[in-house]
Amino acid sequence: MRELVVLGTASQVPTRSRNHNGYFLRWDDEGVLFDPGEGTQRQMIHAGVPASRITRICLTHVHGDHCFGLPGVLSRMVLDGVQHPVDLHFPASGAEVVRALVSLASPGLDLRLLPHGAAGAIAPGLEVRPLRHRIETFGYRLAEPEGRTLLPDRLAAAGIAGAEVTRLQQEGSVRGVRLADVSIPRPGQIFAFVMDTAECDGAGGLADGVDLLVAESTFSDDDAGLAARYLHLTAGQAGALASAAGAGTLVLTHFSSRYRDVSALAGQAVARSCVAAVVAAQDLDRIPFPRRQRDNGVTAGNRRPASPLSVDEDVDPGAVVGMEQDQEQHKVEQQVDGHDVGQ
């Protein structure tokens, strides 16, 4: 099962309806927790995500709204008796902060601290690239290896059935029949997490050809000056990022508390994006991974069709934001005492 569970969508200042950051990615047997801000442990309870499902934690940077929930999550894993090892990835320059946070957690978890300081692979299928923010920040890209999809009609025509199918997959050929003769290429699915950054090459590289892109959308296009000052993306810039990268689905998040209703930000992203769907995330949303796309000979960076896909083919229609969105359903009813700059 592959699914994104949104635990929090606020930026520096949480609101009555938006918790600090937190995103849990179900990726087959792995459970990857990204940027656990304050309150993540409680949000996991609301979302029905057991702490025992976490196998890996990824921090983009060490601003508090992206990591202050770490001690609570780790302590809960100890309380729940988690026995498997847990990898914790973070920028090397934030090691002192990370170690301090870890020291506050209950002891007893097999936690492996894995700092990184440059672009590249950090685990099988997982890579990082630097982003452009006020402190060292890295985004993450998780990619499934490419494979092949067997075609039943070609298997039948070749007389391959039963145990021979398994042999064919393992050995590449059976009785002169090659795997390539009875299958077609299957692109691996790709997920990217781009948080707290101004426009930069690193963001584009992470987003290239992904099926599901989570991107910060701290500011409205109307506040582009603030975005430039504090090194964040506007909603339109997030949409342009997805469009240039040929992403499949764009999930907007990390909204400044100054916006009581984020439907306008969603509209700005839609206006500059040609992706199949733009989702303005709400806390506790569950966003299924888009259906796998077959390889039709196009490059990874532009493998999405130019025309929009049907919503019910790929995503939860209740999460889709577009021109037909019921704005009242998604209205953010907040009472905010101050505004944030979206650490």
Cα separation of 13 and 246, whole Å?
32
Cα separation of 273 and 268, whole Å?
9
Plot region of 195 (φ>0 → left; ψ -120 to 50 → alpha; else → beta)? beta
Checking 297-304 for CB contacts under 8 A at 24+ apart, the result is: 299/209, 300/187, 300/208, 300/209, 300/246, 301/208, 301/209, 301/245, 301/246, 302/209, 302/246, 303/187, 303/209, 303/246, 304/209, 304/246, 304/247, 304/248, 304/274, 304/275, 304/276
Distances in Å between the alpha carbon of 104 and those of 63, 72, 75, 254, 310? 17, 9, 9, 26, 47
Q: Which of 65, 87, 196, 314 is catalytic?
A: 65
65 part of the active site: yes
Cα separation of 247 and 200, whole Å?
16
Q: Give me the sign of the Cα torsion angle 151, 157, 163, 168.
A: negative
Could you give the residue numbers annotated as active site? 65
